[in-house]
Amino acid sequence: MTTARATEPATARQRAAFTLLGTVQATLIFTLTAVVVPLPRIGRELGLDHADLILLSAAYGLTFAGLLLFGGRLADRNGGRHALTVGLTLFAAASAVAPLAPNIDALLAARFAQGAGAALVAPAAMAVLRSVYDAPAAYGRAMATWGGLSVLGATAGNLLSGVISALLSWRWTFAVPLAVALAALALAPRLLPDTAPDRARALDVPGALLGTAGIVLSSYGLVVTGERSWTSAGVLAPLLGGSILLGAFWYAERRGHDPLLPPGFLTVRRRALALGAIALSACATALISVVLSLHLQQARLWSELRISAAFVPFAVALIASGRAAGPLIRRRGAGAVTAAGLGTAAVGSVLLAATGLDAGIPYAYGLLPGLLLLPAGAAAAFAGAAVLAGDGVQPGESGLAGGVLNTAMECGPTVLFALLLTLGGGTASLAATGAALALAAALIHRTR
């Protein structure tokens, strides 16, 4: 009896800590997608051209993705909670400045700063999570739930940003990340363990500079393919420069004494496939968010409020699948759930490609089936892949694991999205995404 009572407070603290960290993680992805639906409204208010809109939509993701690996190393070296606090402070400050921006330059600076703060917060949150759940089985269960939080955050961004911008102003969308960051800063000292720093680890500044510059340049080159030809100097120069820097980064990491990203970390087959599944699932959800938002605005002339309402079934399916994923992983295994989730998402993508973008087919028959299957599969795939990606990670590499996982989630959609859009239109992109998801499901099923 005494032992049981003694364990209850620890369990309550774990749940409170997970709730705080999970809310922060979902908010980071919410912030990524929060400008997608109100982007045309922002453009009209600030007088932006198409190039400005592309850069604004990508600004947060560029610094977020580019600095994640370095953020993971900082979290491991300085302690997860300390890194989390620093990152949240920067994230909150940028979120407070963004809604006051009088022009595009100020708004872009705020979005870049938000991404830099998020790049430190995301891996630090995973490092703290590893300290909260020190038992491997408990950590695995936590990661099964953690995997679906990012998709939930992205969906919440699409839902709430449309409602907020329609009823108030797009500037009020930044109140959500600001409120969450301030609450997390207030609660972290009471709810989160003070993780020990590992000062023996080097910072690998050359590797950080090469990796960050390579990712940012390559991502920018892919982003601008939306308005420029692949053969133009504006695309080829950043792609070539980014590729050279990433090659130099890989060479330096193989020769370094304490590299930012140990090459062996990515050579574990199950982990590599899991990261690929995360990238594909993130790409599928990002693609449908962008393609569907544009389709409903341009082809069906729907309002922002109605577009947000269209994503409600998407969110319901996502939440239901995320809640079911944990028990399924415990019974069937992470590999089986990941493969099944990818297969289900593939079916949803193909259905959307076949009927969803036909303006003559009603929403209930054309869009709704795919909007239920795709998120249900993506949430399950995220949950299973997050467990696979974290399998065998040592406590001192928790920040690194968080950085790599979030890099796959951020860079994957950027790369795949640009490649898929070259196929010409949303229908072909969704069909190709479905084929890629099906192939990934088959590969993971074979390695179980």
pLDDT in the model for residue 9:
41
What are phi and psi for residue 402, nearest 5 degrees?
-65, -40
Same domain, 247 and 183: no
Residue 263, domain member (yes or no): yes
Radius of gyration of the chain (CA): 21
Residue 198, domain member (yes or no): no
pLDDT in the model for residue 446:
74
Same domain, 263 and 253: no
Residue 197, domain member (yes or no): no
Same domain, 358 and 253: no
Same domain, 154 and 241: no
Tell me the C-alpha distance between 238 and 218, whole Å: 6
Structural contact between residues 155 and 36, judged by C-beta atoms closer than 8 angstroms: no
Tell me the C-alpha distance between 355 and 367, whole Å: 7
Tell me the C-alpha distance between 176 and 161, whole Å: 10
pTM > 0.85: no
From 213, 242, 257, give the residue that closes a domain: 257
In our burial notation (b when 16+ CB lie closer than 10 A, e otherwise), range 421-444 reads: beeeebbebbbbbbebbbebbeeb
Same domain, 315 and 401: yes
pLDDT in the model for residue 10:
47
pLDDT in the model for residue 110:
95
Structural contact between residues 347 and 434, judged by C-beta atoms closer than 8 angstroms: yes
Tell me the C-alpha distance between 18 and 133, whole Å: 9
Same domain, 105 and 233: no
Same domain, 184 and 41: yes
Contacts of 238 by beta carbon, 8 Å cutoff, 6+ apart: 217, 218, 220, 221, 224
Residue 50 token pair: 């198409």
Please count the structural domains in the chain. Answer: 2
Helix, coil or strand: residue 151? helix
Same domain, 277 and 392: yes
Residue 421, domain member (yes or no): yes
Return contacts of 367-372, CB within 8 angstroms, 24+ apart: 367/292, 367/310, 368/313, 370/288, 371/288, 371/292, 371/310, 371/311, 371/313, 371/314, 371/317, 372/313, 372/314, 372/317, 372/348
Residue 194, domain member (yes or no): no
pLDDT in the model for residue 5:
37
Residue 196, domain member (yes or no): no
* Mean of per-residue pLDDT scores for the chain: 81
Same domain, 294 and 373: yes
Same domain, 252 and 272: no
Same domain, 248 and 281: no
From 257, 277, 293, give the residue that closes a domain: 257
Residues of the chain with pLDDT under 70: 1-10, 147, 198-203, 226, 256, 356, 393-397, 412-414, 416-426, 447-448
In CATH, what number is assigned to the domain containing residue 47? 1.20.1250.20
pLDDT in the model for residue 447:
67
Strand intervals (E) in 34-104? none
Domain that holds residue 387: 10-189+258-446
Residue 195, domain member (yes or no): no
Tell me the C-alpha distance between 429 and 275, whole Å: 21
- Residue 372 CA, chain-centre distance (Å), reads 20
Same domain, 328 and 227: no
From 257, 276, 297, give the residue that closes a domain: 257
